[in-house]
Amino acid sequence: MKTFYSPVHLDHDPKVQFEGGHLLPAVEIPVRAEKVRVALQSRRIGPIVPPTPFADDTILAVHDPELVNLLAEAWDEWVKRYGKSAPVAIPSAWPAHNMPDSHKGDIEARLGRYAFSCDAPIASGTWAAAREAVNVALSAAAAIKDGEKSAFALTRPPGHHAAFDVFGGFCYLNNAAIAAEWLVKAGIKPAILDVDYHHGNGTQSIFYKRADVFFCSIHADPNFAYPHYIGFADERGEGDGEGYNLNLPLPNGTDWTRYEEALKFAIGAIKHMGPDVVIVSLGLDTYFEDPIAGFRLKAADYQRMGAALADLHKPVLFVMEGGYCFDALGELVVNVLESFQGA
């Protein structure tokens, strides 16, 4: 299995994030992807290759141009306002109910308009890394289009929380959704399975009214987990997309026994839809020692996950999402990919 990777992600190195009323050390940092890269090399999963550049219209097919412009300009505008000593750009105000959400204004107003939460800090290299992650995902998608049975996009920053015109949750551009849209335009029918601990709200919202991309997410119940306002079981799609959205929220403390039931149900639903390719938003924050999550999967369970995904009997594009237990992350990713290949 080819892995697509770019060192440009190293440029995105936020030092802090806002969580629980505190500025804390950031957890979505370069070591995440580097741990995975090293594990892939040591376990010899397959070649690690650089991405090919793709045009901006691949992004604009999924995201609002105003959001894209903001992300490209945000750090420079923030430095003009607050100086180079500011460690990251984080919005401090949002247009709440009954407040106009003007697209104009200073950098504070623009960030508040397009950020749905304050957990996607922007630093000097954020835009370059987010833009390159799109190239990584699309290069892996192109490999699938050209006949590869599987490919892994080692994307960082992640993307599944980014929607058409909002960013948040460590995500800026939706790598999996952009890859899915590119495949649709190439005449290939994709389905997306999101196995991150947190619901892929951005991916859901992008395809919620469409019948050409089936989206399924297995995640922590938003009654207690981020992103809180979306990801409930009764969200089934709208208009043409009715029936093309499946959410499988699970309780805190979910272990493999409970998780496997949901995974098998999801795989059955995807098979019923008959896609040509399956995109797996591969979040590893379901691990029992993940510092920002609450499921109880163990390392061996990711081998079981990979074997279960092989039962799709379709080409699979794996796109990296969350996972913040640095010491285990590389092993968890390799367990999935190795078992998938060997099943």
68 located within any domain:
no
pLDDT digit string, tens, across residues 330-339: 999 999 999 9
109 located within any domain:
no
pLDDT tier, 88 (very low <50, low <70, confident <90, very high otherwise): very high
Tell me the mean pLDDT in the region 282-295: 97
- DSSP assignment letter at 331: H
Q: Residue 102: what pLDDT?
A: 67
238 located within any domain:
yes
* Encoded tokens for 99: 């407040």
pLDDT digit string, tens, across residues 193-251: 999 999 999 999 999 999 999 999 999 999 999 999 999 999 999 999 999 999 999 99
User: DSSP 3-state assignment of 250?
Assistant: strand
Q: Residue 105: what pLDDT?
A: 84
User: DSSP 3-state assignment of 246?
Assistant: strand
Q: Residue 28: what pLDDT?
A: 98
User: DSSP 3-state assignment of 22?
Assistant: strand
182 located within any domain:
yes
pLDDT digit string, tens, across residues 19-78: 888 888 999 999 999 999 999 999 999 999 999 999 999 999 999 999 999 999 999 999
pLDDT tier, 343 (very low <50, low <70, confident <90, very high otherwise): low
Q: Residue 104: what pLDDT?
A: 74
How far apart, in Å, are the Cα atoms of 248 and each of 171, 193, 212, 222, 281? 22, 11, 20, 11, 15
Q: Would the pTM count as exceeding 0.95?
A: yes
253 located within any domain:
yes
Q: Residue 336: what pLDDT?
A: 98
- DSSP assignment letter at 161: T
Rounded to 5 degrees, what are φ and ψ at 131?
-65, -40
Q: Residue 101: what pLDDT?
A: 74
β-partners of residue 317 are: 151, 279
86 located within any domain:
no
CATH of the domain at 157: 3.40.800.20
Residue range of the domain that includes 173? 2-17+24-54+125-342
The number of domains in the chain is 1
pLDDT digit string, tens, across residues 91-135: 988 888 888 876 678 999 999 999 999 999 999 999 999 999 999
Peptide bond into 47 cis (omega under 30): no
Tell me the mean pLDDT in the region 135-147: 98
Which helix (H) or strand (E) segment holds residue 317: the answer is strand 316-320
Rounded to 5 degrees, what are φ and ψ at 294?
-145, 20
Q: Residue 169: what pLDDT?
A: 97
Catalytic residues: 161
User: DSSP 3-state assignment of 129?
Assistant: helix
81 located within any domain:
no
Which helix (H) or strand (E) segment holds residue 316: the answer is strand 316-320
Which helix (H) or strand (E) segment holds residue 320: the answer is strand 316-320
How far apart, in Å, are the Cα atoms of 183 and each of 13, 186, 241, 278? 31, 5, 18, 11
119 located within any domain:
no
